[in-house]
Amino acid sequence: MKNQYTNLDGYESLYARRRIRLIQSPLIVTLCFIFLVFSQLSQSLSKGEKHIFILNPKQPLLHTSSTKFLSFSLDTFALRKMNELPISNERFINLARLLSPAYFRIGGTSADCLFFNESLPQNSNTQVTSPIDGTDISNFTFSEEDFLSLYQFTKKSKLRMLFDLNVLIRNSDGSWNDSNARKIVEFAKYHEMTLDWQLGNEPNSFKHVFRVDISPQQLAKDYFDLRSLLNTSGYKDSILVGPEVDNIRNPINITEPGEYYVKEFLKNDEDCIDYVTWHQYYINGNNAKVQDFIDPKVFNILSKQIKSLQDVIDGVGKKIPMWLSETSSAFDGGALNISDRFVAGFLFLDKLGYSASEGLQVVIRQSFFNGHYAMVGPDLNPNAVWWVSVFYKEFVSNKVLRLATINNFGNVRLYAHCTPEKSLVSRVPAVTVYGMNLHHYPVNISIQGYRLTPKITIFMYALTSEDLQSRTIKLNGKDLNLLSNGDLPPFKPVILEIGKFITLPAHSMVFIVMHGINIPACFT
């Protein structure tokens, strides 16, 4: 990728003329917080709303997430019609590659209907539909050629495949029948495929979707069998994640709470899984409204869910990090003309920020293609969330910092990370502060706690749109489009004056790169 910083000559000399000195002390930091308390009370009544954030340059790293933290998926349902998947299309491959490195999860309800390279009985042609949402849950065959073509797509896109195996192939005694999984694993090894694995999809919901009940204790045994199979088949170094539950914190009446299932699964797990995985959606796509996508109460569902599941993991005495292995804004395929539009970027960006701040290792966006929440449309043009993901990959590293404020659960929500090395200018240290303003009017923020020097230069990249339900997105007021050859365009920042309040536009997502701020922890 070309250097995104263009036409910036002369800015350093501009800032060299400034001589702003700030004597940092605990007293000043305390005063900043006192000022914030009063400003929240008094200025909420005024037109110019202000928010104070404190960045301590002497802090240790809060967390370090996976370099594949922002990942994405393809629902196994799409494999039922492989001829409709554009996985050999160069434009499609390029759109995926621009988001690498990432995991590419192949999973979903249909994962537990998939038979690899196997002829199904004649009566299997009868379509079976889910009693929950009416989707096709008939068994189907996935061929060797299909598997190879899908794997080649991930290799060309520089992605790491995560494949969800069918756990509903059972023996008469109720245990997992691994014969079909063994075919897949052996085929993958023969073709020297490098990939990772999971087993089953939302097992706590099986009794309502498939009229089958697999206890968490039994699933733990099944995972032990799969781990043994992988270890003896050349995949000892591949990760295995599970148990892939849904319905955390606020259970649907007909579905077993995910926390209970995870608790019992972990109590019986024999150190088989590398990460605890669960699925997260905020709302029902069938009745979601645009306002839900900018309502802080909806955003704050995630924090309660993460805490609830973390309490379970801690209570069992395990030290296993979490993944969000399938997640988007709204379940049941997303909300039509909302989940794939500009407004959906807010929930996703906040999810990335909050999840990283809580130590989650990976967030897998549902989905890259297909459904109302797709990152790429059927016309192979990127939706707004794809662009948000590109900016995250460009300016946010896996090294997480603490950004202190009185309240980060309202309409202004910001997070801080070390800036990735590829986005540094002349290798000068930098910090990226990113997040959003959900208000329908601009707000002012101040990032304090560091020593102001003439060497600091602040670049702001503000993502906005003329309409919350638009597919298009603007960078600092100009439409974002790929170049004719498929490359990313230059990302031209607005240069901000140091020591001044920063204005966040109405309904905006922002990436503020603060070049010249040295946080030693970023280089550990």
pLDDT digits (tens, 9 = 90+) for 254-288: 456 899 999 999 999 999 999 999 999 999 999 99
The radius of gyration computed from the CA coordinates of the chain, to the nearest angstrom, equals 24
The Cβ of residue 149 has, within 10 Å, a number of other Cβ atoms equal to 14
* Terminal-to-terminal C-alpha distance of the chain: 26
Does the N-terminal peptide bond of residue 429 adopt cis geometry, omega within 30 degrees of 0?
no
Which among 14, 47, 139 has a CA at the least distance from the CA of 442? Answer: 47
| Contact between residue 55 and residue 414 where contact means Cβ atoms under 8 Å apart | no
> Which residue in the block uniquely carries the two structure tokens 């501009």?
14
User: What residue type is 29 in one-letter code?
Assistant: V
How much is the pTM? 0.90
- Hey, what CATH topology would domain 66-345+361-376 get? TIM Barrel (3.20.20)
The CATH number that domain 11-63+400-523 falls under is: 2.60.40.1180
In angstroms, how far apart are the furthest CA atoms of the chain? 81
pLDDT at 54: 98
CATH 2.60.40.1180 range(s) for the chain read 11-63+400-523
Give the whole-angstrom CA distance, residue 278 versus residue 305.
10
Q: pLDDT tens-digit profile of 383-409?
A: 999 999 999 999 999 999 999 999 999
Residue % of the chain over a pLDDT of 90: 85
CATH 3.20.20.80 range(s) for the chain read 66-345+361-376
DSSP annotation string for 417-429: EEPPGGG-STT--
Give the whole-angstrom CA distance, residue 422 versus residue 152.
27
pLDDT at 119: 81
pLDDT at 255: 53
Strand partners, 60: none
* Residue ranges with strand state E in 389-437: 399-401, 403-404, 412-418, 430-437
The Cβ of residue 316 has, within 10 Å, a number of other Cβ atoms equal to 16
Intervals of the chain under pLDDT 50: 1-34, 36-46, 251-254
Angle at which helices 179-190 and 216-232 pack, to 10 degrees?
30
> 168 CB contacts (<8 Å, ≥6 apart)?
112, 113, 200, 206, 210, 212, 214
* DSSP for residue 490: P
Give the whole-angstrom CA distance, residue 130 versus residue 422.
46
**Torsion angles phi and psi, residue 81, rounded to 5:** -130, 70
> Which residue in the block uniquely carries the two structure tokens 């995991």?
103
The Cβ of residue 182 has, within 10 Å, a number of other Cβ atoms equal to 14
